[in-house]
Amino acid sequence: MRLGRHNRPRLLPGISRRRRLRGRGTREALGQIWQSGGLLILGILAAGMTAFPNETLTALRPIASLAGFGWRLGLGGVQAVQDATAAGARGLRSLSSLAREARELEHQLQSLEQRTVLKEEQQRELVRLRRLLMLKDETGSPTITARVIGGDPSSFFSSLVLDVGAEDGVREGQAVVAPAGAVGRILSVGPASSVALWLCDPRSRVTAYVQRGRVKGVLAGTGTGCVVRYLAAGDDVKVGDRVLTAGGDSAFPKGILIGVVKEVRRDGILLAAELVPAVSVRRLEEVLVLTRGAAQAP
């Protein structure tokens, strides 16, 4: 039966101590032998240099060469380690420099991208303002250029907030137009801002006519679109016809595009033509307020 580590018989304290003393004595004896051997070799070399200097030097030359080779090899290893350390440091500095250059290039790229976006926005704005200027020349009446700065969320943008007001000459009932067509009328005016009511608002009414058939009706807003009502049953109205402002006592001059007929239906004994509005108020950024006169506020 094998005995476990805890079940093995222990050595007596005296025996264990003697073994430790014996091991220490052995190591001390070996150390004395190495010292004696070294002194003996040095003594032999000293005696040889005294009695036979030339022969001793000749005998020691290979040993000296070997020792020199080992010394050079050691120095070469140290130099190689130093070179490798210096190369590693240079590599780290190079990586740090590359990382810094990469960050600088990224910042320059972001700045260039931002400048590109701004330039594109400026070009788009220039195109819009050029179209607005052309429209201003076509109307032949005094106008005020305005920016759309907001809308009325409670009415799904049926009204627009403009950055011009009474101080700029804006009055209630004045017409608001865009390059794409008629927008609406000024509903209320503040000192430096105003609210324009879209033509498709249910409160809006404008006299209009069909360009191809030359028949007139009243444009009324439905909230999401607009419809020309009070057309006679025999009036020549078709899908695709354009509907324009009729002018007269309206704040709008004659001939401003309102929209295109998408459906003609019976409205009692009369006809009604539903339109696709020419202007999407959600995409408007600049408009013109016509100041030639103001009709009754809708």
Longest dimension (CA), the chain: 149
CB 45 within 8 A of CB 52: no
3-class DSSP assignment, residue 161? strand
Q: How many residues does the chain have?
A: 298
Q: For residue 20, what pLDDT is reported?
A: 58
Tabulate helix, strand, coil % of the chain (nearest 5).
45, 25, 30
Give kind and range of the element (H or E) at residue 28. helix 13-51
Give kind and range of the element (H or E) at residue 252. none
| 147 closest CA partner among 169, 134, 165 | 165
Compute the distance between CA of residue 200 and CA of residue 280 in angstroms, rounded to an integer: 10
3-class DSSP assignment, residue 69? helix
Asked whether the whole model's pTM tops 0.75, one would answer no
Assigned architecture for domain 143-290: Beta Barrel (2.40)
Q: For residue 298, what pLDDT is reported?
A: 40
Task: Compute CA 273 distance to the chain's CA centroid, rounded to the nearest angstrom.
Answer: 46
Q: For residue 194, what pLDDT is reported?
A: 95
pLDDT lower than 70: segments of the chain: 1-83, 88, 91, 152-157, 249, 293-298
Residues 6+ apart with CB under 8 A from 219: 199, 204, 205, 206, 207, 208, 226, 227, 228, 229, 243, 258, 275
Domain boundaries, the chain: 14-71, 143-290
CB 206 within 8 A of CB 252: yes
Q: For residue 15, what pLDDT is reported?
A: 52
Cα distance between the two ends of the chain: 115
Classify residue 285 by its DSSP letter.
Answer: -
Q: For residue 251, what pLDDT is reported?
A: 85
Q: For residue 3, what pLDDT is reported?
A: 47
Q: For residue 247, what pLDDT is reported?
A: 85
Residue range 92-137, pLDDT digits in tens: 777 778 888 888 888 888 888 888 888 787 777 777 778 777 877 7
Q: For residue 7, what pLDDT is reported?
A: 52
